[in-house]
Amino acid sequence: MHNLSPKSYRLPLQNKLVGLSVMIIIGIVAFVLFFYHSFSTSLEEEKKAQSKNFIESALGIIQHFHQLELSEKLTTADAQKMAMQTLESATYGDDGYFWINDNEGKILIQPYMPNLVGLNMTDWADSDGKYIFKEFDREARNGGGWVSYTWPKLNTTEEFPKISYVAHYPAWDWLVGTGLYLDDMKSNIFWAVLRTSGILLFGFLIFIFTIILIINYFVHQLSELSVRDSLTDLYTKRFLKEISPALLNHNKLTDYHLTAIFIDLDHFKSVNDVHGHDNGDKVLKKVAKIMRQNAKQNHYCMRYGGEEFVLIGFFESEMAAVDMAEMIRHQVSEVSFVNDDNEYRVTLSAGIALHNSHTDDSFDKTLKRADVKLYEAKTAGRNRVII
């Protein structure tokens, strides 16, 4: 038989914790997506800013050699030649470089494609039909700016989308630029963001997972306290109401009989009156212990109220339920309690009802029928089990 273990049953508060965990995970995913978008945008702007700064540095190098020309330490040709040589060797990153065109569109330096040096690109158009030099010239003379176009990568003839920042050096009438291939930039940004967000997400998940474990532990403890009787450590009447739907559903899937055993201690009031409530509590604890010791995995022992107990479980037959109740009754009757050298014993009566899915539309009706059988046991002389 498949058992419905108490450990497999989640209390409403624990279900809420599961819902909270799902919401946290959704929040984490939303945060990562937002972080990725924000961080990737920031990195893209940063890379553009770096390219612009590189051009400003290149203009500073050109200006340095121009000053040498003005101070007549170098001729114009030598100053320009040395400036071009310096920028031609000033590569950066994986494939970053500077290029220079003169005012007529002729390529002065192109480190990765030296075969283009000396060619006039005034009438050059990229794969989209854009006249590249004319775009460079317009943006550069307007104070510098970005131009989008397509251009081959190193050792390839295929053109890829690219953006270049271009600036104008008026004294020599040069156009100076450097660019970024969009696919490379996006790939670099993707992996940079992935590494950063991965580290953050991993740390965040560990933190959240730890918090959830801690919360779940305390929720479990609180849940147990809310459905456990503090004196006997048995389940309470509240727990019975919460688990009844699960019991009824499970009852449809098994050939065993869902059964309620209603137990009541005989003349328990006299125990409290004669021996005191402390001794009465000891009796209740002992009865609860005997119930737990005899209960199976698919049984629930509950303190229903006062000296009333209920054992709910699945039994193979009526006789199996009777045997269980009789065993508990017999063991309780055999226990000897002592108070101030006065020995006393207690007995119990029990009523049993098997749930009938055809006539019992709720488990409350089964409990009421078990309570009626308990009353019959009381009126029949107590210390007995009736089904």
* Residue that terminates a domain, selected from 208, 227, 246: 227
What is each CA distance from 198 to 24, 43, 184, 193, in whole angstroms?
17, 16, 21, 8
Q: Does 218 share its domain with 349?
A: no
Whole-number mean pLDDT of the chain? 86
Is the pLDDT score of 6 beyond 50? no
Provide the pLDDT confidence category of residue 188 given band limits of 50, 70 and 90. confident
Residues 214-242: what's their mean pLDDT?
78
User: Within this chain, do residues 217 and 343 fall inside the same structural domain, yes or no?
Assistant: no
**Confidence at residue 71, expressed as pLDDT on a 0 to 100 scale:** 94
Q: How many domains does the chain have?
A: 2
Over residues 128-140, the pLDDT tens digits come to 899 999 999 999 9
Average pLDDT on 273-287 reads 94
Q: How far apart are CA 107 and CA 313, in angstroms?
A: 91
**% the chain with pLDDT above 70:** 89
* Bridge partners of residue 386, in order along the sequence: 351
Q: pTM value?
A: 0.49
CATH of the domain at 83: 3.30.450.20
Q: Are 244 and 205 contained in the same domain?
A: no
Q: Is 178 helix (H, G, I), strand (E, B) or coil?
A: strand
Quick check: is 44 catalytic?
no
Average pLDDT, integer, range 151-179: 89
Do residues 190 and 242 share a domain?
no
How far is residue 270's CA from residue 272's CA, in Å, rounded to a whole number?
5
- Which of 307, 334, 343, 376 is flagged as catalytic? 307
Ranking 161-170, 207-216, 363-372 by mean pLDDT, the lowest is 207-216
Task: State the helix-helix crossing angle for 12-70 and 76-89, rounded to 10 degrees.
Answer: 160
- State whether 128 and 211 are in the same domain: yes
DSSP three-state, residue 175: strand
Q: Are residues 104 and 167 part of one domain?
A: yes
Residue 225: its pLDDT value, please? 59
- 60 and 93 fall within a common domain: yes
Structure tokens at 178: 């450097």
Q: Could you tell me which residues come within 8 angstroms of residue 70 by beta carbon, excluding any fewer than 6 positions away?
A: none
Look up the domain containing 270 and give its range.
235-386
Residues 366 and 307 in one domain: yes
Task: State the CATH number of the domain containing residue 282.
Answer: 3.30.70.270
Question: How confident is the model at residue 12, as a pLDDT?
Answer: 57
pLDDT at 43: 67
State what percent of residues in the chain have pLDDT above 90. 50
